[in-house]
Amino acid sequence: MNREEIRKHYEENMYGVWREGEKVTYELLGPDKTPENEEKPPFFFEVRGGELVRVTVEANGRKASFVFHAFLPGEKGAADSVEYPKGSPFIVCMHPIFPVDYALSKGYALLVTDTREIASDDISRKGAFYDIYPYTDDPAEQTGVLMAWAWGASKVLDAVIAGVADEFALDPDAAMVTGVSRWGKATAVCGAFDRRFRMSIPACSGAGGLALYNYFSEGKTYDLSTIGGPKEYTYTKNEPLDCLQSDAERGWFNDKFLEYRDPSQIPIDQENLLIMAMDKDRYTFVIAACMSEDWVNAPSMWECFKKADEAYKVAGLDDRLVAHFHREGHAVLEEDMALLIEYFNHMHYGMESKTPLESLKTTVFAGQE
C-alpha cells in the first residue's frame, strides 16, 4: 500500500479530511503579562508566559484566529545554549510540556498552543478550525478533532514561515511537533500529513495513535527490572475500540470510524501513520512509558514501532525512526528531551552524538511476554 492509499484510508475512515492552503497571517502581541501569582484555572494545560502571537487563518470566505505562546532561548540565561546556523530549532507543542527550561538551555524554542481555541475536545465541533470548516453530514466535510489539532500545529508552522521565524530568529527548516496522550495521537497524525515538520514526537499516544488496534497487552507480564520496575509487571485493561467511539472520545474521529464494531474490521493498522511520515529528510521520535500505562497499551506502541521500523529498513531509512520508552510518566520528561535533542542535532545538523542509535531501537518489551 502506497502513501496515497494510506492517506485515503485515514481521511475517509478515521481522522477525516486534512485541510491546507489557507491564507495565514500573524500579529505579535508582546509578552504574556498574566501575573505569576494569579490562580490558574482548572484546565491542567493552561498556557502561561512567553511571547504571544495571534495566528489568523482565512479560507472559503471565513476567518478565524488563535494564539500561541513562544518561549525563546536566552529568556532564562541559557548558559550552554548551542549556536545554530539558521536560527533556533523549535518544537510546536500542543500543550505545555515539563522540560521547558532544559529545551531553552539547549537553544530550542517552544511554540505552545491551547488546542481548545483550535478545536474543542468534545462533539460540539467548536473552535477556529470548525469556524472555517464546519462539520456536516457530508463525509467530504468531516474532520475529527485530532486532525483539527494537527491542522492547528500546521498553521503555527505557516505563521513561522510567513515571518515569525525572522521575528524570533527561528529556523523554519528545523520545525518539530509534539503532544502527549490525545495530543500524542494528534502529533502522530500531524507528522503523517504535514511533511514540512522535520521531526514529529508523539508521546504516550495509545489507541487511535500509535497503539495497534489489533495488539493487546492486557493480562501479559513483562520484566521491567532493568529500568527499575518490578520483575513481573502484568498489564491490566487496555483502552478498547468502543471507548474511542464513546460520547467522550468520538469527536476525535469522523462518522465513518464509528461504524467499526471490532478492531479486526479496520483494514490497516497504525504503523501506517509512521510509514506515511517516512522520508529521507524527516524523523520520528516515539515516546512512551513502560509502567502505569496499561490503558495506553505501551507494549502495543512498541509493536507498532517494530512493524514500521521494518518498512523503514526496507527503504534504507531505519535511522529516521527511533523511540525512547521511559520507566514511568505520562509526559515528555527531561530524559526524553535530552535524547531527542541529541538525536535531532546529530541527524539534522551532523553534530556528534554520545547515544548510540541502537539504544533508541530497543525497549524492555523486546523478546518478552
For the stretch 249-289, pLDDT in tens is 999 999 999 999 999 999 999 999 999 999 999 999 999 99
Percent of the chain past pLDDT 90, that is, above it, reads 91
* Residue-range domains of the chain with CATH: 3-360 (3.40.50.1820)
pLDDT in tens, 148-200: 999 999 999 999 999 999 999 999 999 999 999 999 999 999 999 999 999 99
pLDDT at 340 over 50: yes
Measured from the Cβ of residue 226, the count of other Cβ atoms closer than 10 Å reads: 10
Determine which of 5-19, 24-38, 311-325 has the lowest per-residue pLDDT on average. 24-38
pTM, two decimal places: 0.96
**What pLDDT is stored for residue 303 in this prediction?**
97
pLDDT at 75 over 70: no
Determine which of 81-95, 135-149, 157-171, 298-312 has the lowest per-residue pLDDT on average. 81-95
**What pLDDT is stored for residue 109 in this prediction?**
97
Determine which of 70-79, 86-95, 98-107, 345-354 has the lowest per-residue pLDDT on average. 70-79
**What pLDDT is stored for residue 77 in this prediction?**
45
Measured from the Cβ of residue 165, the count of other Cβ atoms closer than 10 Å reads: 21
Residues 6+ apart with CB under 8 A from 61: none
200: nearest Cα among 183, 218, 215: 183
pLDDT in tens, 300-310: 999 999 999 99
16: nearest Cα among 129, 115, 159, 99: 129
Determine which of 39-43, 225-229, 237-241, 347-351 has the lowest per-residue pLDDT on average. 39-43
**What pLDDT is stored for residue 43 in this prediction?**
57
**What pLDDT is stored for residue 30 in this prediction?**
97
- What is the rounded distance in angstroms from the CA atom of residue 367 to the CA atom of residue 369? 7
- What is the rounded distance in angstroms from the CA atom of residue 36 to the CA atom of residue 49? 9
pLDDT at 343 over 70: yes
**What pLDDT is stored for residue 250 in this prediction?**
98
